[in-house]
Amino acid sequence: MKKIFVFLFFAATIGILSASAVQAAAPKKIIVGVGSAFKPYTYIDDKGQPAGYDVEVLKAVNKLLPQYQFVFESLEFRNILVSVGSKKINIGSQQFEENEERREKYLFSNEGFTVYNKYLVVKKGRKDIKSLDDMQGKTVTVSQGSNSAFVIKQYNDAHPNNPIKVVYYQSGQNEAIIASITSGQVDATIQVKRVLDDWNKTYGNKLSLAYDKPVSISDTYFIFNKSDKKLRDDVDKALRQLKDSGELKRLSIEILGADYTPPDNK
């Protein structure tokens, strides 16, 4: 009887230890907030699920980080940064660019994952705008809280006597943006070349670059709360692996149509 008791005791102890080991190995849940209306980067697909390039890159990152379980939530662009700051989400993504104001509030991945140089975009055939200086007193439409808005703010701070007028739009209002430019309601917007190309294919070839020099030169990054340095460092390590293996390039070509990975991966 004593031998049976000892056996059962050890069996129970091993069971408890095994359960504890499984529990300890369970991945940490990471909430990832992504935009809902910026195809092909972050959007909601026909099944109601978060989709796009940013999402696929983060899924590939998660495969290299089994200690985490990424759970995706679609958010309006303007709510992503607020949610990172308040710790409602752990990672934010919608092709975010760095600037001074954002660096004060958030932690950025050190590894960029997309080249994202932006240009001034005007109605096709317009010839009078050759620089930002030519926009003084004119109107540009940009998304509130975007890096484009920050670029214009910086310019206006340096030129207070004749600033560029700003009209804000919400993410996903592509057709309205194009209509406002072609009708003359606003003079320009700021966008990357590949999005401009997509707009022209979709809405009838109505816009063009004002001039062939970017108003901002940037990569895009994932954003974290400042307290999540370990998570940021782990994501950086995985991104570097994706670059070195060529997987990031493959995703860019497959989803975006060309290799838009940062120069150190080309």
Euclidean distance between CA atoms 195 and 30, whole angstroms: 30
Q: Is 188 helix (H, G, I), strand (E, B) or coil?
A: strand
Higher pLDDT, 97 or 8: 97
Residue percentage of the chain with pLDDT more than 90: 82
Residue 158, pLDDT score: 96
Residue 72 lies in a domain: yes
pTM to 2 decimals? 0.80
AA identity, residue 56: E
Give the range of the structural domain holding residue 146, as residue numbers without chain letter: 118-209
Residue percentage of the chain with pLDDT more than 70: 89
Q: Are 130 and 256 contained in the same domain? A: no
Residue 157, pLDDT score: 96
Euclidean distance between CA atoms 109 and 145, whole angstroms: 19
Residue 229 lies in a domain: yes
Q: Are 82 and 41 contained in the same domain? A: yes
Q: Looking at the chain, which runs of residues are DSSP E strands?
A: 28-35, 37-38, 42-44, 50-51, 68-75, 91-96, 107-108, 114-115, 118-123, 139-143, 165-169, 188-192, 207-209, 219-224
Is the pLDDT at 189 greater than 90, yes or no?
A: yes
Euclidean distance between CA atoms 252 and 250, whole angstroms: 5
Q: Are 69 and 201 contained in the same domain? A: no
Residue 137 lies in a domain: yes
Residue 22, pLDDT score: 45
Euclidean distance between CA atoms 175 and 181, whole angstroms: 10
Q: Is 205 helix (H, G, I), strand (E, B) or coil?
A: coil
Q: Is 131 helix (H, G, I), strand (E, B) or coil?
A: coil
Q: Are 256 and 179 contained in the same domain? A: no
Average pLDDT rounded to a whole number, residues 201-207: 95
Q: Are 129 and 177 contained in the same domain? A: yes
Domain count, the chain: 2
- 189, 209, 229: which is the final residue of a domain? 209
Q: Are 186 and 157 contained in the same domain? A: yes
Q: Are 30 and 91 contained in the same domain? A: yes
Higher pLDDT, 16 or 262: 262
Taking alpha carbons only, the member of 194, 175, 173, 192 closest to residue 183 is: 175
pLDDT digits (tens, 9 = 90+) for 129-147: 999 999 999 999 998 888 9
Q: How confident is the model at residue 173 (pLDDT cuts 50, 70, 90)?
A: confident
Q: How confident is the model at residue 1 (pLDDT cuts 50, 70, 90)?
A: low
Average pLDDT rounded to a whole number, residues 35-58: 95
Residue 214 lies in a domain: no
